[in-house]
Structure 1
């Protein structure tokens, strides 16, 4: 079944200059919804969309993603007057619990980097995640013009992040040295043999396969977690870490601070050791206190 409203909506997304992946994912979700409904999307009723949402057998985070796409489509359809009422307005958005970061341990990272050096591009992807905090989607989009190298050897990279938001991150001199072999060409610096850029999913898949081959249950994204937690360990301001990671919500970044509560654990334990000493001093002081004088007043 062909639904022209999907084509219209995707054209609208492109006109707004949204990220290409957003349009791709939106189209895919709307086409799956169309197949489920068996009728044009603009004819859907609230009960139809509620049944569709209840039929989803995926994680809560995926339900939230799918529902967001559908709600955005119908909000647009209402705005451009393709429908007179929004049938998706009552769809429930599941509450997603914040997941704690899972950074790759330093020893495992060292092993992963040493064994990845035979594949220079994979090695660079891991460096950019672990030492610059980049997502796979951000690494895949890096172009030569995005990196400005200083005389000191380090550099500053303009990162095209989620939702089209840009930020600038520092690239250590040691990482710039490893990137130099792929900086000789204009456009995307990481490419297939035919010149096409890699997709973010390919980067993630290759990194995961490499890590799993070493018996490590980590992903490219856990290297980004490592960057954030180490920055917090080193005492970086949480708002600086937020900017480096490209988080829109500070609460997301503070999870890395919470994860690093272990830093202060030893100090808190040391502080607690003083409780016993304080209690002993109080007991001794009470024992040495002279008895009160008897009442000598006349009865």
Structure 2
């Protein structure tokens, strides 16, 4: 197995910066990939051509490419700033341009059907994603001491991106589902099941949640359950600032995307330009 001490040094640097364990694992994984490609040379010897070759070999989605390249750029910027390398070879790495995509929420009937056919922790994950708006990484890291039920309105403290905390109110339904799942007295709500200490990896929440949705005949992903929460939440209240706080968006422009599904003026505009009722709808029965 490849071992480069500089990766451990970088990981320690990220830890001191307060970067989350999830982010640090992602960065480490990408650097190990590059180190494998460079063998027997070191990461310190990488050239722009080496990094571009690694980038060109990536077969993941564009959004993942952006994330992978970002981590490599942070690493080499750190090395250059510390004088460990003469220049930053990652500056010219090409990345795809990502356009803003609207949320694609799962339908209410599909979500309820998926929950009815789920058991144990997978059922709890679906409920937390669809009816509390949690990301998979937030579900994985939920702790018992962050669940507050002995108050007038139960809520939970969620550790979001960048390890930022936010309070998320729990509906009676969400709280009841968590109780039925069986909350531990302390520690992680969803501990690992492989004998190791710690919480269930976020990737496992995503993987097994998505597998269950596939088994139910659905094409949606776990993240689209969160899309459902945001879309329905905005349609019901029109409160974009409150939705931003509950969903943990750093930029309100991200939250604003959920408003695109609830625009009565746009709907009225489309209705206004439709044909008169006297226009006959032609149906093609030719089978073409």
User: For the superposition of Structure 1 and Structure 2, which TM-score range results when normalised by the shorter chain?
Assistant: 0.7 to 0.9
Alpha-carbon spacing, 1:202–1:58, altered in 2? closer, same or farther (3 Å): closer
3-state secondary structure, aligned to 2:237: coil
Q: CA deviation at 1:162?
A: 0.9
My pick for the range that moved more, 87-96 or 220-229, is 87-96
Aligned to 1:137: 137
Distance 1:11 1:215, change over 3 A: same
C-alpha distance in 1 between matches for 2:127 and 2:25: 28
Question: What is the match of residue 56 of structure 2?
Answer: 54
- Cα distance in 2 between the residues matched to 1:45 and 1:151: 58
Q: State the match for 1:63 in structure 2.
A: 65
Distance 2:173 2:59 in 1: 45
What displacement does 1:150 show? 4.5
Per the TM alignment, residue 245 of structure 1 is displaced from its structure 2 partner at its CA by 1.2
- Give a deviation string over 1:15-61, Cα, whole Å, max 9, x none: 32321111111111001111222311111222322333233333322
Q: Which residue of 1 aligns with 2:280?
A: none
Matched, 1:222 2:221: no
TM-score, normalised via structure 1 length: 0.83
Q: 1:131 to 1:84 in 2, by over 3 A?
A: same
Q: Matched residues in 2 for 1:2 and 1:196: separation?
A: 24
Which residue does the alignment assign to 2:286? none
Structure 1 unmatched ranges of 5 or more: 277-299
Give CA-to-partner distance per residue, 1:107-160, whole Å, 9 cap, x none. Answer: 1112112222xx1322221111111100111011111111222444x3121110
Structure-1 residue corresponding to 2:166: 167
1:247 to 234, 241, 249: 249
Structure 1: which 4+ aligned runs deviate by more than 4 Å?
192-196, 263-266, 269-273
Task: From the two aligned structures, give the one with the greater helix fraction.
Answer: 1
Residues 266-281 of structure 1: matches in 2 within 5 Å? 266-269=267-270, 271=272
Gaps of 5+ in 2: 277-288
Aligned 8 A contact 2:192 2:201 in 1: no
- Size of the aligned set, in residue pairs, is 271
Q: Who is 2:77 aligned against?
A: 75
Q: TM-score, normalization: structure 2?
A: 0.86
